[in-house]
Amino acid sequence: MIVNMPKKPIILTVEDEPDIRELISFNLKKNGFSPISAENGELGTSIAREQLPDLILLDLMLPGIHGLDVCRILKTDPTTKNIPIIMLTALGQEENIIKGLETGADDYITKPFSLQVLNARIKSVLRRYETKKHHENGKTIIINGIHIIPRKRIVSINDIKLNLTFTEFQILYLLASHPGWVFTRYQIINKIRGENHPVTDRSVDFQIVGLRKKMGDKGKIIETIRGVGYRFQHNET
């Protein structure tokens, strides 16, 4: 009898420090992943295109091609744009974190980091992509007690409908469709901006304040990521 074993997720680590690269690869293999690695951005880009990994761990401070440029290349290439990317950054690189997220990276983790935290982030991002596939077709979202029906633009909490503005609905639907994802203000504007519904960078904060107020106790699910933007929590805290 032949038993088909489940496919191990392939994780590509692009990191120039050999010790860190080897440690991450050892940890990934130990935790049921199939690790591959590259020591620079050029090789990492090539491997990503050839092997199409399930997720990429990308160091930003790379020799040659900078990590931000690698992220930009991969996220604009039709063959690799849907591969999730977690940035590996040093403390104090807030500006690069924002640029990376706006370029298309899905999450980040600062060095030094524990392997347990790294494993949790990887599993979380992989789960998000499964959730994204489920919500991409505009289906009803039911999460943390919140019901969102996009086609009718209806939002209800505990069977009570919320009276949201067009922009408030767009923001909530965007965040709830990608639970756990961090969106910068620019990304939110870019995603929901329409010809008849202009949104400015500053107004995003006001929209979030109003949205939280209308959501009552559930408003805390929309979390502020200081210096970066906002995200919709997987679970209530």
Q: Quote the domain boundaries for residue 129.
A: 10-133
Q: What is the CATH number of the domain that holds 126?
A: 3.40.50.2300
Mean pLDDT by 10 residues, the chain (237 residues): 63 95 95 95 95 95 93 92 89 79 86 90 82 61 88 88 86 90 86 54 83 94 91 75
Give the pLDDT confidence of 123-140 residue by residue, as tens digits: 888 877 765 555 555 678
Within 13 A of 75's CA, how many CA atoms are on the CB side? 18
> Is residue 5 in some structural domain?
no
> Is residue 205 in some structural domain?
yes
pLDDT of the residue at 93: 72
pLDDT of the residue at 51: 93
What's the total number of domains in the chain?
2
Measuring CA to CA, which residue among 87, 89, 90 is closest to residue 121?
A: 87
Give the pLDDT confidence of 79-110 residue by residue, as tens digits: 898 899 999 988 667 788 888 888 888 888 88
Which one of 68, 100, 133 terminates a domain? Answer: 133
Q: How many CB atoms lie within 10 A of CB 86?
A: 22
Same domain, 24 and 82: yes
Interhelix angle 166-177/201-215, nearest 10 degrees: 80
Same domain, 41 and 62: yes
Q: What letter represents residue 171's amino acid?
A: I
